[in-house]
Structures are given as structure tokens and as C-alpha cells.
Amino acid sequence: MTRPEWLLTKGERGNDATCLDSRRPDGKAWSQGNEARPLVHGAVYFRELLAAVRVMRRGDLLLFTDWRGDPDERLAGPGTEIGAVLSRAARRGVVVKGLLWRSHLDGLRFSQEENRHLGAEIEEAGGECLLDLRVRPGGSHHQKLVVLRHPGRPELDVAYVGGIDLCHNRNDDAAHRGDRQSLPMAAAYGPHPPWHDVQLALRGPVVGDVEAVFRERWDDPAPLSRSPLTRLRELVHREDTSAGTLPPQEPDPAPCGTHTVQLLRTYPNRLLRGYPFAPDGERSIARGYLKALRRARALIYVEDQYLWSPRVVAGFARALARQPGLLMIGVVPSVPEQDGRFSLPMNLIGRVEALDELRRAGGDRVAVYGVENRAGTPVYVHAKVCVIDDVWASVGSDNINLRSWTHDSELSCAVVDETTDPRRPRDPGGLGDGARVFARELRLELMGEHLDVEGTARQRAAAAGALCDPEFAFAAFEKAAAALDAWHARGRSGPRPPGRLRRYAAPDLPAAQRVSATPLHRALIDPDGRPQRLRRRNTF
């Protein structure tokens, strides 16, 4: 397999200003020889991050970006609050630099005060954390990355990229009982919303790529905000508004694995003054998906917080229409995070329209599910994962919607393993690519959780082997969801069937609600950050 068939070439990224595609001597738009490990659930990620930060010492470098950061969120019990962990690192001489989205007001269910408090705590300890509002109006910085570099000890270098913020609600595990430090959500999720999420731990040369993403944003000379009101708040709170000097970037870590990783990003077409590293924005996440979807033949497996917008799912619909044998499974939240009288229709209309488009193209070859825990409480699916034909896998901060593909800042990793998987079917797509270990194992781990695959090691291996077959996996999800739906329909009488899947049925919104919700959804919930010339052609 030649990687250009699945990954973007330098020219296909559509952004010549970034250093990502020119920083390597080989000139490739991706890095080879990496190890990418999926960390499924916040509790798994938080424990590993805590251990990695604790061994950092004077002169090491810790870089992070986040959408929301709660300083009191515990990584692993009392005394491990994220603000305290980062501050202790700064006090012992670790160079700590952070970029937090400034956010909107807390009264609008955002995190302005929490992000400000985390930044202030780090600054007081000797680190530096900027509140970054260099976005389009109504936009956000949604990237979630942590980079740990160790001069003289490069074998410890690691980067974390994915969908998990350093904040409340995220510290959940496979049992999905929810984070004890919870934020309110729709009533269906209860006082401690169960939370499903995925992060990647990256080692090898790609760590240098992730660091370069951070440095491009850190070195942006534009002011952190152009709003006079925000400037006044900066003065009142004596906020740091000037990025300090970063130490020179260390050489990339040595190759250590078999994974080729390409960093994909979204930056909007920023008004007034573009990003110096993306003057016209960047939409390589959209381009990366669309290129991979053109090779889809057997199974598209998606876990996504939204799965919105007909203009985005059109690429999936085209793949389904072209390939009559192609199957698609989606795992999404059963209930939007907000259930208010006005917010609920705005949050539902995008998915209703997207699923209509997918089903017109694929009919019963498209199946969408929600997830619940053993108590019957819905699990909020916050993961952003896509696996195509067990070859190409993407994990990142981006959702399948127009906001993530065009408007906010996002960061995702497309992973193609050099190692083929010997289990049948060995080449699900039939294009000679062969199933790849990373993509297949990621899909099987996620499917195994949703199906409650248990038993001895041999039994679990046998179940995983059967799920390698796309048609078997599609039918297994359908069967498990039908059994659980029927159990609920009987009033939960008798033993609860195995599995956590419920068939997702989009509500039938009245015509009046559709008419009123659609413009609000497009303007506020799922805006378009593309230049006008691309909007007119609906291209990325």
C-alpha cells in the first residue's frame, strides 16, 4: 500500500504556510515509525497523564491546549487536581506553557471563569497560560493536546491528542457511572453524566509535529482578543497577554513503532487578519476524511458527538451511493447535552437532516445507535473516532459537523499502521490494502465494550475474531440493540440482555420547529467558517 492513497499529500492539505509539511528532511506530509495507543475513557488518560507529568523535572517542557480547563478536576483522586499538578510541575522547574480558549460567559453554559482560574493558578506557580480568543466571531479553540518533552531523555517524550478536555465530566471509565465532578447536562443523563471518550498517546517523530502545532499558535503575533470589553477584563484581572519565549524545539524523537501518523487540522478563514500559519484557514480534516471515504468499500465505523450537517455527511453519502456493499455504523449520544425548549430543536435539526441524507444514500446499510450503562442511563458519546475498512483510523477533537470541519480550531490524527492483521477478512475493502492492526484493534475495542464482550481470554479473542468481519459486526450491533430495546419495551422484566446499544431514532420534529430551528442551528450551533468561494461550491 502506498500511503498517498489514504493520506493527504503536501499539496492536498491546501495550506502552504504551515511548517507541518516542510519540517521533515524527507519532505513527507506525515511521519513514520510512531507508536499510537488509544486511551479509551478519561480515567485511563488522566491516570497516564498524571504519571507522566510527575516524573518531569527541571528543564523539561510541558505544552498544552484546551477548550475547557477546570483547575479542581482530579486526575486520580484528592491531591491530583489538574491545576495543582501543573503548578507543582512549574515550581520544580518544568517549563509549562498553555493555550486555553478564553470562552464565552459562564451564564451561557461556557467556561470563561474556570479557564481564567486555571491560567491564573499556573501563572502564579511560574508557568505561562494565555487565554486565546484568536478565532472567528462565535468560534472556539477546540484542540485538546498535551506535549511532554524531556531534553536528554527523548525516550520519555510523548504527546496526547484527542477529544478529552482537562475538565469536569471527563473522568469516567468503562463502567460509565460518570465523573463525581460533574457539570449539569440534559436531565436524562442524571446528576453524574456517563461519558465515553478517546485520546491517543503518541510516541516517536510525530511528537515533534504536535509540538509544531502548538508553536504555530503560540507564536501568532495577533492580539489574544480584539474585543474592547475583553481587553478591559484583561487589564482588570492583570492577565498575561504576551506570549513568552519558548525554548528551541528539540530534535524529533527516534522512530519507535509501525504507525504512520498525519496531523489534520481545522482553522477558520479568520476575519480581519488571518493566521500566519493558515492565512486562508485550513480544512485538512475535511479533506482527509473525504479522501479516505473515496476508498471505503466495506465498513465505515463512526463514534461522534454530533454527526450533523448534510453538507458534511454528503461525503459519507456519496461513498454509500457509489458502493452498494458498503456498511456504515454510527454511535452517537441518544440525547443532546442541552434539552431546553429552544436549545433542543436547534441541536436536533442538524442530525435529523444528516441522517435523512445518509439513509437516502444507504438505506438499511446505515445503522445509528446510542449507548447506555447497566443502570439504563444514557452515555454521552463525546468520542471523535472514525475507522474505514480497518485501514484508516482518525482520532481527534473534531466532530462530524460543519463547525468542526470549517469554523473552530481542531486537531486530529489519521493513523495507518504498517503492520497487516492476519485475521479474516484480511482485505475487507478488496483494494489490496489489507486490514491494519491499529485500525482494526481500535474498532474491536470500542465494539467489544458496546457489546459487553466478556468471558475468558480465549472467548474474548474468539468474539473479536468474529467481529473482524464487517457484515458480522453490523449484524451483531443490530441484534444486541434489538434485544435491549425489546427488554425496555417489556418494562425491563427478566434478565437484562448483554450489550449497551439502543437503536437511535431521530425524533420527528414538527414542520414549524424545523423551519424555526434551521436558521438558528446554522448561525449559532453549526456555523460555516469557509471563504465565500468554497461555500458557493460546497467544497473544502
Whole-angstrom CA distances from 234 to 230, 325, 433 are 6, 56, 53
Query: Is 277 domain-assigned?
Result: no
Lowest mean pLDDT among 177-186, 343-352, 399-408: 343-352
Yes or no: say if 427 and 435 are a contact pair by the CB < 8 Å rule: yes
Write down the pLDDT at residue 106: 47
213 and 295 in one domain? no
For residue 109, pLDDT beyond 60: no
239 versus 137: which is more confidently predicted?
137
Q: Average pLDDT for residues 52-75, to the nearest whole number? A: 97
Query: Is 274 domain-assigned?
Result: no
477 and 393 in one domain? yes
Mean pLDDT computed over every residue of the chain: 94
Instruction: Supply the angle between the helices 470-489 and 437-451 in degrees, to the nearest 10.
Output: 20
Lowest mean pLDDT among 25-29, 91-95, 375-379: 25-29
Band (pLDDT 50/70/90 cuts) for residue 510 is: confident
Domain with 75 in it: 37-254
Each residue of 343-390: pLDDT tens digit? 788 888 989 999 999 999 999 999 999 999 999 999 999 999 999 999
424 and 291 in one domain? yes
227 and 322 in one domain? no
User: What is the tally of structural domains in the chain?
Assistant: 2
CATH number of the domain to which 360 belongs:
3.30.870.10
Write down the pLDDT at residue 63: 98
> Using CA atoms, how far apart are residues 492 and 513, in angstroms rounded to an integer?
33
Query: Is 2 domain-assigned?
Result: no
213 and 90 in one domain? yes
Band (pLDDT 50/70/90 cuts) for residue 392 is: very high
Each residue of 197-254: pLDDT tens digit? 999 999 999 999 999 999 999 999 999 887 777 777 767 777 878 899 999 999 999 9
Separation of CA 299 from chain center: 20
For residue 126, pLDDT beyond 80: yes
449 and 378 in one domain? yes
320 and 217 in one domain? no
Query: Is 538 domain-assigned?
Result: no
For residue 193, pLDDT beyond 70: yes
162 and 204 in one domain? yes
Strands 327-331, 366-371: parallel, antiparallel or unpaired by DSSP? parallel
Q: Average pLDDT for residues 249-273, to the nearest whole number? A: 95
All residues at 6 or more sequence positions from 100 whose CB lies less than 8 Å from its CB, including other chains:
65, 66, 68, 69, 115, 118, 119, 129, 130, 131, 132, 141
Q: Average pLDDT for residues 113-142, to the nearest whole number? A: 93
Q: Is the pTM of this model over 0.95?
A: yes
394 and 344 in one domain? yes
Query: Is 94 domain-assigned?
Result: yes
Band (pLDDT 50/70/90 cuts) for residue 506 is: confident
145 and 88 in one domain? yes
119 and 177 in one domain? yes
Yes or no: say if 315 and 290 are a contact pair by the CB < 8 Å rule: yes
> Using CA atoms, how far apart are residues 355 and 360, in angstroms rounded to an integer?
8
Each residue of 462-494: pLDDT tens digit? 999 999 999 999 999 999 999 999 999 999 999
- Cis ω before 495 (30° cut-off from 0): no
369 and 491 in one domain? yes
Band (pLDDT 50/70/90 cuts) for residue 111 is: low
399 versus 108: which is more confidently predicted?
399
